[in-house]
Structure 1
Amino acid sequence: MAKLAFLGAGNLASAIIRGLLAHQVCVPEDIACTSKGGETAARLAASTGIAHQPDLAQLLGPADVVIVAFKPQSLAAADPRLAELTRGKLVLSVLAGKKLSTLSRTFPLARNLVRTMPNTPAAIGAGITPFCSLHPLSPDDSALVIRILEALGVCLPLDEQYFDALTAVGGSGPAFLFEFVAGLRDAALAAGLPSDVAPRMALETVLGAARLLARTGETPEALRDKVTSPNGTTYAGLQVLARREFRETLKETVAAATRRAGELSQD
């Protein structure tokens, strides 16, 4: 495996590193990291066995792949030495909202730039990570990117024009689902379930339904109809969702998040 250098050692960097090690894609000796102030990187290194290298030149010198994982708002003030120090290297960014055109100003000499959009389930290897590149990836670099991103779950190549919508659905989508589960929990409490039962019922119902959907390969509508008896309990509940225009509300929710993603990604 190529040598990897992580600029940043927060939650996403930790998820990628732990995934790479758990899947035996890398050994700790292949990975080094740094972070602002150094404390986060030192803790990550101590818990994983990777190297903590605060000196930027020594960190990037041996690396073939540089993974940019600091806070997105820090990009504008990034060390100007990064341009020369990443010459000829593959640079992979996990910075939310940062376009390839923006990244290319900080890393103008990289052999290629890859933009990704991980979501929070990546922390447990259950994420979905779209990616795109400034130039077509060589076969070796494409395989390398996929190996790295599969440490987070599923990955898929997709044109950058879709990234605002991807941010709204994949990036923000988990929060929308968490809100749904919280609402189902509160509805269960209001219906009279005990306080120690309602949260578990809401969570396990969503988990089980999602697994069923994934394993059967059927459409959500087909599985919904299998649950729904004519004039039964499910039908009564679905009529309320229809009157409240549940799907239209979701469309408006995703549209608002997409618009905001576009605003945030403006250079």
Structure 2
Amino acid sequence: MPIRIAFIGAGRMASAIVRGLLEKEHYAPEEIACTCGDDPTGPALAEATGIQFLKDITPALYETEAVVLACKPQQFAAISPELAEAARGKLILSILAGTPLVRLSEKFAHARNIVRTMPNTPGQIGAGVTAFAPLRELSDKDNGIVENTLSSLGNFHEVDEVDLDAVTALSGSGPAYVFEFAAALREAGVSCGLDEGLADALAIDTLLGAAMLLAESEETPEALRNAVTSPGGTTAAALKVFQEGDFRGLVERALAAAKARSLELAAE
């Protein structure tokens, strides 16, 4: 059976995509191949999933439908002209952070199309969100490949490439903001007298439950916030502190800094 999709890189996000593709039966294990740098990720992924690990994946690219770039930036720079030529006429999907379409198209000048994506880490458990921008309009076939691949990580949205730096700041880096807020809640709970284990559990379950409610509700975040907030009550007292500390302004400045850094990385 020919290889239909090849992964250059076999880290956590590549592993999540592979597992999702197999779970949803978009490909059989023997239709997927991966390679990696000087590390054990490729052989480990092959052993865990039944896909093929190829130390030299270049010959296999001639028969693939798509190539997923999931390597480190320095490994991308080291991709040989021979490998790029083997990908002639293929669909290239990149999950490389900070690598714009113009740079991808310089490396893979003869690809039939190139798609730049920005996934986030919850994709490792199929609960992520990915934005993607194609070099040119996708054909029906390529659109199907992109949807199958990205749906293995969770939800996905097509955007203009110019929006990907803002996407990076919001959803790409966003899980870290939530983790930091969870840590802050835990520490604040301990300061209020709770046992650390209990404070940790309460923070996690509160964030998880609130996120699930927000996802399932037709109400805006503000409306859900107001429903929890009684005038003069405990929630109102806490929200007043957030407001006085310019919480929303702080978040806006944080995302602006992340977006600016994303633009800097793309220009390097």
Shorter-chain TM-score: what band? over 0.9
Query: How far apart are residue 11 of structure 1 and its match?
Result: 0.9
Q: Secondary structure at the match of 2:267?
A: coil
- Aligned partner of 1:240: which letter? V
C-alpha distance in 2 between matches for 1:237 and 1:211: 22
C-alpha distance in 1 between matches for 2:101 and 2:143: 17
Aligned ranges for residues 237-248 of structure 1 at < 5 Å? 237-248=238-249
2:55 matched to 1:54?
Answer: yes
Task: Give 2:161's aligned residue.
Answer: 160
Task: Give 2:95's aligned residue.
Answer: 94
- Aligned partner of 1:180: which letter? F
Q: Secondary structure at the match of 2:96?
A: coil
Task: Give 2:81's aligned residue.
Answer: 80
Please list every run of at least 4 consecutive aligned residues from structure 1 whose deviation after the TM superposition is greater than 4 angstroms. none
Aligned ranges for residues 195-214 of structure 1 at < 5 Å? 195-214=196-215
* Range that drifts further, 1-10 or 108-117: 1-10
Alpha carbons of 1:38 and 1:193: their partners in 2 closer, same or farther (altered >3 Å)? closer
User: What is the number of residues matched between the two proteins?
Assistant: 267
2:216 matched to 1:218?
Answer: no
* Range that drifts further, 149-158 or 50-59: 50-59
Contact 2:3/2:30 (<8 A) preserved: no
Query: How far apart are residue 96 of structure 1 and its match?
Result: 0.5
Query: How far apart are residue 29 of structure 1 and its match?
Result: 1.2
Structure 2: stretches of 5+ with no match in the other structure: none
For residues 77-108 of structure 1, give each alpha carbon's deviation from its aligned partner in whole angstroms, at most 9, with x where no partner exists: 22121221111111111100100000011100
| Percentage of matched positions with identical amino acids | 49
- Aligned partner of 1:31: which letter? I
Contact 2:92/2:111 (<8 A) preserved: yes
Task: Give 1:118's aligned residue.
Answer: 119
Aligned ranges for residues 140-151 of structure 1 at < 5 Å? 140-151=141-152
C-alpha distance in 1 between matches for 2:257 and 2:42: 35
Task: Give 1:258's aligned residue.
Answer: 259
* Range that drifts further, 20-29 or 243-252: 20-29
Alignment RMSD: 1.3
Task: Give 1:138's aligned residue.
Answer: 139
Alpha carbons of 1:38 and 1:257: their partners in 2 closer, same or farther (altered >3 Å)? closer
Contact 1:87/1:109 (<8 A) preserved: yes
C-alpha distance in 2 between matches for 1:254 and 1:55: 40
Q: Secondary structure at the match of 1:197?
A: helix
Query: How far apart are residue 38 of structure 1 and its match?
Result: 6.0
Q: Secondary structure at the match of 2:7?
A: strand
Contact 2:95/2:118 (<8 A) preserved: yes
Structure 1: stretches of 5+ with no match in the other structure: none
